Amino acid sequence: MWIPKLLPGLLATPAWAHAYDDTDILIAKRDNGVATGGSCGTQANNAVCAAGLCCSAAGVCGTGGAFCTAPACQISAGPACDGNQTPKGADTSKVPRPLIGSIPYGIDISHCTVNGKVAITFDDGPYLYTGALLDILKNNNVTATFFVVGNNGAKGMINDPTTGYPAILRRMVADGHQIGSHTWSHQDLSAVTAAQRKDQIVKNEVAIADVLGVFPTYLRPPYTRWNQDALDDLKTYGYHVLNYDIDTRDWQGDYTVAENIFQTILSQHSPASSSWISLEHDIYNTTVHVFAQYIIDQARKLGYQLVTVGECLADPPSNWYRNATTGQPAHPVAGGLANNSCFADNRNRQFAVGHCSRQQRERQWKDNDKDEYSSDNGRGCDSDILANSDKIG
């Protein structure tokens, strides 16, 4: 039975609208845009721009990054908004959604159930600094949870190989991190239509599945905003709704405050009787290059173990994702390989799927240490030394 822990101490503060570090650089790279002169959106009685145009936050029709970048572009009035784009990949909207495991659906989850744990969570990426963050986490032997957005902040789609983000997602999995959804373009799920909410959910899982062969069962709504309709829809689509009980407010840019929030909450409670889900953002340079190390050091100093959200909820890793075809529990696979492939999770020493020999397993660990992945069905292994007893899966 799910028994939520009552939150002691300082309450988390909702993180409403976030600005993205260096978004102006990315927007400039894709063209700052041209206004067509038409008015649109909430500023113009919900007028809709012509096909191929975007509606800026200021209510002006146009093209280019300054008009089309999510989440500011008004998706109801701008047909070409980034939030209205569709990623490549197989449609997942009709995939069965059995409710996996014992973690509840249809409510928000803001507390761990395993004492002594801190689950660091990073929202809004992958982004310019996520690769550096993965290096920091690896150097400290720490795992975290990444709630990823599919197409926000002018960064491009997360399954577009030219962005480098598919490799980042694969590395997250290989390093033992957990990936959750943060929707397609960071729209407020309580303020969109049912059809738009479905788009936000499904498009992101299409993009994730295109890279990993699976999509998550955990989702954090943007701005941590939802209503009952959103909760109902997220349950229908098989998502645990993740909240948090520490908001370090890194999104405000005052890291003295952020450090004080984190240190104060943890120091006022014993790891023997408390645990935490902490909210951060990998879209901020200082969060990645300074604050992440502070969190790691302070949590360990105060006796906490740093884990994924799934681990702090005692949810087995097999429940964190579902197969993009069957909807059943599944582990990610490297690069969307077929289901008879062999793929390793470095940290947990688990194989996602399929037919891995003992020799292949040994080789896989060596390859993963070099950030490489072995091929499927034992190719690359010495077939003359593979006994049938070595076959698994």
Burial of 141 (0-12, 13-18, 19+ CB in 10 A): exposed
Distances (CA, A) of 314 to 271, 278, 308, 318, 320: 16, 17, 10, 12, 11
Whole-angstrom Cα distance, residue 330 to residue 313? 18
Residue labelled with tokens 């909430």: 42
Q: Given this model, what pLDDT does residue 178 score?
A: 98
Distance, C-alpha 318 to centroid of its chain: 17
- d(CA 34, CA 11) in angstroms, rounded, equals 43
What is the C-alpha separation between 1 and 53, in angstroms, rounded? 50
> Which residue in 21, 82, 123, 345 is the catalytic one?
123
Residue of 281, 282, 315, 376 with catalytic role: 281
Q: For residue 391, name the pLDDT band (cuts at 50, 70, 90).
A: very low
Residue 123: active-site member: yes
pLDDT tens for residues 177-205?
A: 999 999 999 999 999 999 999 999 999 99
pLDDT per residue as tens digits for the range 48-72: 999 999 999 999 999 998 899 999 9
pLDDT value of residue 382:
29
pLDDT at 37: 75
CB atoms < 10 A from the CB of 362, how many? 11
pLDDT tens readout for residues 93-117? 999 999 999 999 999 999 999 999 9
Return the percentage of the chain with pLDDT > 90, whole number.
Answer: 73
Across the range 158-186, mean pLDDT stands at 97
Catalytic residue status for 281: yes
The pLDDT tens digits of the residues spanning 318-353 come to: 999 999 999 999 998 754 433 333 444 343 333 333
pLDDT of 34 reads 72
The full set of domains in the chain, from first to last, is: 35-84 (3.30.60), 108-323 (3.20.20.370)
Burial group, residue 25, by CB count within 10 angstroms (0-12, 13-18, 19+): exposed
Lowest mean pLDDT among 232-241, 297-306, 357-366: 357-366
**CA–CA separation, 289 and 50 (whole Å):** 43
Q: Which two tokens stand for residue 298?
A: 């302070």
